[in-house]
Amino acid sequence: MESINLYRYFKRLEAFEVGHQHAVTLSDVAERFFSSPRHTRSILKHLSQAEWITWVPRAGRNQRSTLIRLLSEGEVKRRIASQWVKEGKYDRALEFLDNDQVAFGQLLQQTSGAKITEGRVNVQLTYNRPLTRLVPHIPHRNSERFLNRQLYSCLVSMDKAGELKPDVAHHWEVDPSFQVWTFYIRPSVFFDNGDRVDAKTIKSLLLQLQQHRYYANELDHLESIDVKPPYVMTINLSRPDRGFAALLTDLKYSIQPPEQLAQNDRNIVGSGVFSLNNHSEQVLSLVANEQYFGLRALTDNVTIWSLDGSIEKVTERDAACAHRVSPTIKRIEPSSRSTISHPAIDFDQNELLSATSRARIEDGCLFLLFNQYGRALTYPQRRWFSETLCGENVWHQLTLDQRTFGAEIASNFFPFWHNVKRIHTAQPVDLPETIQIAFYAHPGVLRSADAAKKILERQGVKVELNLYKFHEFIEKAMAEGFEEELIMSSLNLDDNRQVSALLFFLSDPVLHSAIGKQASDCLISEIDKIRASSKPSDYLKQLEQLGSLLIHEGLASPMFHHRQTLSFHGILKGVEITTWGWPQLRDVWSVD
């Protein structure tokens, strides 16, 4: 009997208290079921097999049998809905739960993982905020950048050592001046809508990107692009750029239809290993791109549910971090869970030490910027604030507040750079009476901002915290800039680490909106020199002195490196944690 029909009969037993023995006759139950005695026996048998009740019949006319209702109505509904979720019948499950987002979210978390349905590998994940439109030409948070990498390809790619690898372009060459770059495009490369990707398409895309402010510091030397149809493209630069091909490995140079730059539709067209099937406020679904020119993904379908923030008992100010494990929700063997959290609070130690949990420190940090526009702080004041709000002090306050998260103290922008020592100043400093701190909605940033406020107010400085949504934070940086004296932000490098780091210092809108025109111009000039003379594999080494300079000048102060943890329990096979803290979706496979 179908579960929904069985449930309708079960509801008619609601008068019997759960967990108690009840002496009833078969005719009594048949009357409740509006059914014949024979059919009632069949229904009771199915209910017993489903383990919703215990039925002990007694032989003989008018003999009283024993009925024990094992589950409440709500528990039965969750069991049925859980089975439908496993079968991918999400709409039916949500409707059956009376659109209870909290209960539905709990079921999604409990059933997350990889499974095979009709020979296809399906991965289901949960996420605790809606995912924004997935296009590469606007700044994104960490998770959206990861998903963009799944949906788009680039002209070339980069390995961990900073060496270039073919992607959409199978070959490239440059003249001795490093000003003329020629790329040879693979034949038979298509967007996931079936349109061809050729040299003309990529030329149009690059010329349109050049007009965007987000690309101004990177493409100001692009003079012209010549195309020899259909697959040869020559780019002419006004000055040497030894790493121009490496620049095109970045997510923001992902290959998309040029006309998509002027659109606002969530249903995008990509060129990557996955294509977008559906994107709403509640759910994002990806399918393996059958037209992808490279190795097809092992995974056929990926469904990512954006859960209501109330599921994790967080406020709007907290509800922004990917994959955070909630202490208020019982974890029932999820197959994969990527968290930015505090292991001492959120994980059992045995789980942390198991072979199925892997952790990494992100290639980036949470940092403080000292705004050089508006009511700028003096250099002695900036040194004082940097010292007072160093990672050690903020962490101590977080510990007192019992609000720590997975992190390590940062002394530079990246954990692999040398520590920048802070020289303690004993000189008295005139402090402002009030200070404003701008930050965006992310739990680690929020908690650090609250801790900073408590530290400063103990020193007699009144603090106003100004929270922005991420897109508002970026838009403000790219438009009028911030009025706040302190700005709290974060960065995390993508899989092309060397170029990703270079583009942060060259083009990050928040960084350049705060450090002042003189420092911004100097930074751009120095990076242009690096681009002209250095191999991309040397970028990180060359950039370290510039990052250290920003810290010494009192313009930036790194605080924490996030700890990212990917846990799975033998259900996902061949999965590695990526630089974004997500599992490598294209390589997920499963067995029955």
Name the one residue in this structure whose structure tokens are 């690059």.
206
Same domain, 371 and 436: yes
- 532: how many CB neighbours lie within 10 A of its CB? 16
In a domain, 323, yes or no: no
- 361: how many CB neighbours lie within 10 A of its CB? 18
Q: What's the alpha-carbon Rg for the chain, to the nearest Å? A: 29
Same domain, 134 and 190: no
Q: Residue 259 to residues 66, 143, 268: CA-CA distances in angstroms?
A: 70, 25, 11
Average confidence (pLDDT) over 44-73: 89
Average confidence (pLDDT) over 146-168: 96
Same domain, 146 and 160: no
Same domain, 406 and 522: yes
| Those residues with Cβ within 8 angstroms of residue 34's Cβ, 6 or more apart along the chain or in another chain | none
Same domain, 401 and 514: yes
Indicate whether 325 pLDDT > 60: no
Rounded to whole angstroms, how far apart are CA atoms 548 and 202? 37
Same domain, 474 and 401: yes
- Structural contact between residues 150 and 292, judged by C-beta atoms closer than 8 angstroms: no
- 323: how many CB neighbours lie within 10 A of its CB? 22
Rounded to whole angstroms, how far apart are CA atoms 123 and 335? 10
Q: Kindly state the DSSP code that residue 56 receives in the 8-state scheme.
A: E
Per-residue model confidence (pLDDT) at position 230:
95
In a domain, 547, yes or no: yes
pLDDT, one tens digit per residue, over 364-404 is 999 999 999 988 899 999 999 999 999 999 999 999 999 99
Q: Kindly state the DSSP code that residue 197 receives in the 8-state scheme.
A: P
Cα 454 to chain centroid distance, Å, stands at 29
Task: For residue 405, give both structure tokens.
Answer: 């998260």
Same domain, 456 and 529: yes
pLDDT, one tens digit per residue, over 580-590 is 988 888 888 76
Q: Distance between terminal CA atoms of the chain?
A: 25
Query: What CATH number is associated with residue 380?
Result: 3.10.105.10
Q: Domain containing 39: what range?
A: 3-71
Same domain, 451 and 520: yes
* Total of domains in the chain: 5
Indicate whether 332 pLDDT > 50: no
Indicate whether 321 pLDDT > 50: no
Q: Which among 71, 95, 121 is the end of a domain? A: 71
Task: For residue 196, give both structure tokens.
Answer: 């061809």
Helix, strand and coil in the chain, % to nearest 5: 35, 25, 40
pLDDT, one tens digit per residue, over 85-101 is 877 777 788 788 887 77
Per-residue model confidence (pLDDT) at position 324:
32
In a domain, 465, yes or no: yes
- Structural contact between residues 142 and 581, judged by C-beta atoms closer than 8 angstroms: yes
> What is the share, in percent, of the chain residues with pLDDT greater than 70?
89
| Those residues with Cβ within 8 angstroms of residue 136's Cβ, 6 or more apart along the chain or in another chain | 148, 152, 251, 252, 253, 254, 256
Query: What CATH number is associated with residue 296?
Result: 3.40.190.10
Task: For residue 155, give both structure tokens.
Answer: 């002209």
Same domain, 499 and 386: yes
In a domain, 324, yes or no: no
Cα 72 to chain centroid distance, Å, stands at 37
Helix (H, G, I), strand (E, B) or coil at 93: helix
In a domain, 159, yes or no: yes
Per-residue model confidence (pLDDT) at position 312:
36
Judge if the upstream peptide bond of residue 230 is cis by omega within 30 degrees of 0.
yes
Average confidence (pLDDT) over 326-339: 28
Q: What is the dihedral of CA 216, 196, 292, 578, to 10 degrees?
A: 0
Per-residue model confidence (pLDDT) at position 360:
80
Average confidence (pLDDT) over 276-295: 94
Q: Where are the beta strands (DSSP E) in 118-257?
A: 120-127, 156-158, 164-166, 169-174, 180-185, 222-228, 232-237
pLDDT, one tens digit per residue, over 477-509 is 999 899 999 999 999 999 999 999 999 999 999
Task: For residue 580, give both structure tokens.
Answer: 């974004």
Per-residue model confidence (pLDDT) at position 147:
97
> 165 burial class (0-12, 13-18, 19+ CB within 10 angstroms)?
exposed
Indicate whether 514 pLDDT > 70: yes
Orientation angle between helical segments 3-11 and 73-86, nearest 10 degrees: 170
Per-residue model confidence (pLDDT) at position 96:
85
Per-residue model confidence (pLDDT) at position 591:
61
- Structural contact between residues 248 and 202, judged by C-beta atoms closer than 8 angstroms: no
Q: Residue 390 to residues 377, 383, 550: CA-CA distances in angstroms?
A: 17, 10, 15
Across-strand partners of 138? none
Confidence of residue 266 (pLDDT cuts 50, 70, 90): very high
Per-residue model confidence (pLDDT) at position 329:
23
Task: For residue 270, give both structure tokens.
Answer: 């990509």
Indicate whether 259 pLDDT > 80: yes
Q: Which of 89, 92, 95, 158 is nearest to 124 (CA)?
A: 89
Same domain, 413 and 455: yes
> What is the share, in percent, of the chain residues with pLDDT greater than 90?
69
Confidence of residue 566 (pLDDT cuts 50, 70, 90): low
Same domain, 446 and 518: yes
In a domain, 349, yes or no: no
Kind and range of the H or E element at 115? strand 113-117
Average confidence (pLDDT) over 57-84: 87
Query: What CATH number is associated with residue 40?
Result: 1.10.10.10
- Strand-pair category, 434-440 with 462-468: parallel
Name the one residue in this structure whose structure tokens are 């350049």.
512
Q: Which of 316, 312, 317, 318 is nearest to 346 (CA)?
A: 312
Per-residue model confidence (pLDDT) at position 590:
64
Average confidence (pLDDT) over 419-448: 90
Average confidence (pLDDT) over 274-303: 94
Same domain, 60 and 130: no
Average pLDDT value for the chain:
87
| Those residues with Cβ within 8 angstroms of residue 294's Cβ, 6 or more apart along the chain or in another chain | 153, 273
pLDDT, one tens digit per residue, over 93-148 is 878 888 777 777 777 777 777 777 777 888 888 887 899 999 999 999 999 999 99
In a domain, 339, yes or no: no
In a domain, 261, yes or no: no
Task: For residue 240, give both structure tokens.
Answer: 């040497």
Indicate whether 313 pLDDT > 60: no
pLDDT, one tens digit per residue, over 235-252 is 999 999 999 999 999 999
Indicate whether 334 pLDDT > 50: no
- Structural contact between residues 341 and 456, judged by C-beta atoms closer than 8 angstroms: no
Name the one residue in this structure whose structure tokens are 């603090």.
463
Rounded to whole angstroms, how far apart are CA atoms 492 and 212? 23
Indicate whether 315 pLDDT > 80: no
Average confidence (pLDDT) over 25-33: 91
Residue 51: left (phi > 0), alpha (psi -120 to 50), or beta?
left
